[in-house]
Chain A
């Protein structure tokens, strides 16, 4: 029953994608997003250590990724 709701995913995916084209900032307005603290992968070692602890002690793992954000330079 719950797996059927996963079919919502492609629908959600497409609406997210089409909505995405209306959001965002100009290239010269990325000053705050360019800060290292605003990066999604600011602390990869800490994230890996946490993931390892929770993988060892809990039944769920993963789900995270790091692409995007930042200054968008080059």
Chain B
């Protein structure tokens, strides 16, 4: 019997995220923030590599990260890659002002009250997570530095590559419907 991954998804995500480093949230947190998380609906990106970025207009390094994210979108956008930039501004209009100066060719999601940031245990600004094609968080970057860009590129490429093998191995693992 194969469990529907979408049912396990929030807990799997939580587990994957907490395994990346020190964390303070408990399993009970998973229940409260489901509405925004459902709106975000990361399951729709199943089969794609997802770059989730937490940013805010007041975050200096975010100004450098946006042009880089546009480049990533251009390099890998056609290749099962998607960027979701989650904005943490609590002041209305601040995000818009930022986007006028630093336009984004990727999805912006608004988390005005920080629910998603809390759920994802964001402990630095900006924070980015790279999710593999099954939706598991594989890499986390705290802060944004130019010198990390090549590493990010390598990580995205490896996540895009491994999936073909994963899918093949899953179908060969002997699961029956």
Minimum distance in angstroms from A31 CB to a CB of chain B: 5
Is there an interface contact between B59 and A73, defined as CB atoms closer than 8 Å?
yes
Q: How many residues belonging to A are interface residues under a CB distance threshold of 8 Å? A: 12
The binding surface of chain B is classed by DSSP as loop
Q: Tell me if B88 counts as interface (CB < 8 A to partner A).
A: yes
Mask of B94-116 contacts with A, CB within 8 angstroms, 1/0: 10000000000000000000100
Minimum distance in angstroms from B166 CB to a CB of chain A: 32
Minimum distance in angstroms from B151 CB to a CB of chain A: 15
Is there an interface contact between A73 and B143, defined as CB atoms closer than 8 Å?
yes
Q: List chain A residues, Cβ under 8 A from B56.
A: 28, 31
Q: Tell me if B90 counts as interface (CB < 8 A to partner A).
A: yes
Known: A73-B59, A73-B143, A74-B145. A27 touches B124 (CB 8 A): yes
Q: Tell me if B60 counts as interface (CB < 8 A to partner A).
A: yes
Q: List chain B residues, Cβ under 8 A from A30.
A: 58, 125
Is there an interface contact between B143 and A27, defined as CB atoms closer than 8 Å?
no
A residues whose Cβ falls under 8 Å from a Cβ of B:
26-31, 34-35, 71-74
Please pick, from B54, B91, B144, the residue contacting A31 in the complex, using a CB distance under 8 A: B91
Known: A26-B114, A28-B54. A73 touches B61 (CB 8 A): yes
Q: Tell me if B89 counts as interface (CB < 8 A to partner A).
A: yes
Q: How far is the CA of A68 from the CA of B17 in the complex (A)?
A: 28
Is there an interface contact between A27 and B117, defined as CB atoms closer than 8 Å?
yes
Please pick, from B89, B114, B144, the residue contacting A74 in the complex, using a CB distance under 8 A: B144
Please pick, from B62, B91, B94, B122, the residue contacting A26 in the complex, using a CB distance under 8 A: B122
Known: A72-B124, A74-B143. A28 touches B60 (CB 8 A): no
Interface residues of B in 56-88 (CB under 8 A from A): 56-62, 88
Known pairs A29-B90, A31-B91 / 5 extra A-B pairs, C-beta < 8 Å: A28-B88, A71-B60, A73-B143, A74-B144, A74-B145
Q: List chain A residues, Cβ under 8 A from B90.
A: 29, 31
Interface residues of B in 137-174 (CB under 8 A from A): 143-145
Is there an interface contact between B114 and A71, defined as CB atoms closer than 8 Å?
no
Minimum distance in angstroms from B125 CB to a CB of chain A: 5
Return the 5 tightest CB-CB contacts between A and B, nearest first: A74-B143, A28-B88, A34-B58, A28-B117, A31-B58
